[in-house]
């Protein structure tokens, strides 16, 4: 009789444990993929991630006022955007944390697994979500918010400049709805927002500032981006004659 009761008790405990495990799994999957860290792009793009690690090693022991977080259009500041970067962001000791192909979940994973203790930026330019075009606007925005939360945990008190998701041949209505939510995150105190989307009007079958691939920025696109950011950066970064560009980017008519 005693052994039977023990078996019954054991089975009851086992069933309870299994049910608890199911509930935990279900709760995890209630969160969208956009907020769950993923190493997918770390595995798919080892060269891009390797370049970031090299830049991070080179930055060790140097000042860093500004960090750029995002995917290919952030990474390509080192290519099409290098002239603008050298003029306006190198003097601000900026660090490029962009990797081509990243989604919000990939950035979350990199923030968790990169040793960023060697830098202490005061502000972050956040341009991510363009590769999450298959997700819902709400989930994209949730991913961006999760990236901000994680970035703030790595760099407590950092200020954010959210860049709107820009035009492309991808899901336009999704992007517009996501941008509306992202704009609502701004409080103009610690979180700021720039609407780069509206500054890139359609020109024929493409948009101003985009390459023929309808996705990545031209040199002009980077100039436009810098022009929109400069007034905000002047506000959120400490005035320093040694690190502030003498002349802000000028708009082109």
Mean pLDDT along residues 195-224: 97
pLDDT-derived band at 211 (thresholds 50, 70, 90) equals very high
Q: Phi and psi of 238, rounded to 5°?
A: -55, 140
Overall number of domains in the chain: 1
248 within domain boundaries: no
Are 93 and 64 contacting, i.e. CB atoms less than 8 angstroms apart? yes
225/249 Cα distance (integer angstroms): 9
- 5 versus 54: the higher-pLDDT residue is 54
Q: Which domain holds residue 141?
A: 31-236
Which two tokens mark 53? 């690690």
pLDDT of residue 197: 97
As a whole number of Å, the end-to-end CA separation of the chain is 91
Question: Is the model's pLDDT at 32 over the cut of 50?
Answer: yes
26 within domain boundaries: no
20 exposure class (CB count in 10 Å sphere: 0-12, 13-18, 19+): exposed
Which two tokens mark 170? 């991808």
Question: Is the model's pLDDT at 20 over the cut of 60?
Answer: no
Mean pLDDT along residues 100-117: 96
17 within domain boundaries: no
Question: Is the model's pLDDT at 64 over the cut of 90?
Answer: yes
pTM of the model: 0.85
7 within domain boundaries: no
Question: Is the model's pLDDT at 218 over the cut of 60?
Answer: yes
49/41 Cα distance (integer angstroms): 9
4 within domain boundaries: no
What CATH number has the domain bearing residue 119? 3.40.50.1110
Are 41 and 102 contacting, i.e. CB atoms less than 8 angstroms apart? yes
91 within domain boundaries: yes
143 within domain boundaries: yes
pLDDT-derived band at 242 (thresholds 50, 70, 90) equals very low
144 within domain boundaries: yes
Question: Is the model's pLDDT at 214 over the cut of 90?
Answer: yes
Mean pLDDT along residues 119-140: 97
Counting residues of the chain whose pLDDT is more than 70, the rounded percentage is 83
Question: Is the model's pLDDT at 2 over the cut of 60?
Answer: no
């Amino acid at each position: 009789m005693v052994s039977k009761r023990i078996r019954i008790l054991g089975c009851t405990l086992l069933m309870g444990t299994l049910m608890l495990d199911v509930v935990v799994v279900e709760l995890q999957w209630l969160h969208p993929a956009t907020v769950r860290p993923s190493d997918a792009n770390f595995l798919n793009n080892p060269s891009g991630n390797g370049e970031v690690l090299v830049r991070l090693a080179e930055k060790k022991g140097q000042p860093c006022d500004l960090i750029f977080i995002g995917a290919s259009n952030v990474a390509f500041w080192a290519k099409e955007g290098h002239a603008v970067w050298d003029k306006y962001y190198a003097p601000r000791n900026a660090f490029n944390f962009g990797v081509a192909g990243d989604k919000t979940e990939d950035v979350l994973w990199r923030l968790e697994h990169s040793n960023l203790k060697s830098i202490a930026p005061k502000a972050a330019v956040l341009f991510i979500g363009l590769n999450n075009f298959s997700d819902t606007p709400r989930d994209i925005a949730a991913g961006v918010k999760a990236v901000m939360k994680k970035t703030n945990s790595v760099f407590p008190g950092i200020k954010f400049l959210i860049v709107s998701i820009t035009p492309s041949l991808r899901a336009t209505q999704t992007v517009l709805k996501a941008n509306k939510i992202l704009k609502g995150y701004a409080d103009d105190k610690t979180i700021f927002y720039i609407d780069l989307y509206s500054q890139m009007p359609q020109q024929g079958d493409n948009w101003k500032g985009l390459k023929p691939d309808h996705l990545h920025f031209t040199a002009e696109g980077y100039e436009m981006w810098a022009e929109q950011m400069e007034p905000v950066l002047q506000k959120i970064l400490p005035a320093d004659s040694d690190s502030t560009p003498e002349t802000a980017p000028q708009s082109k008519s």
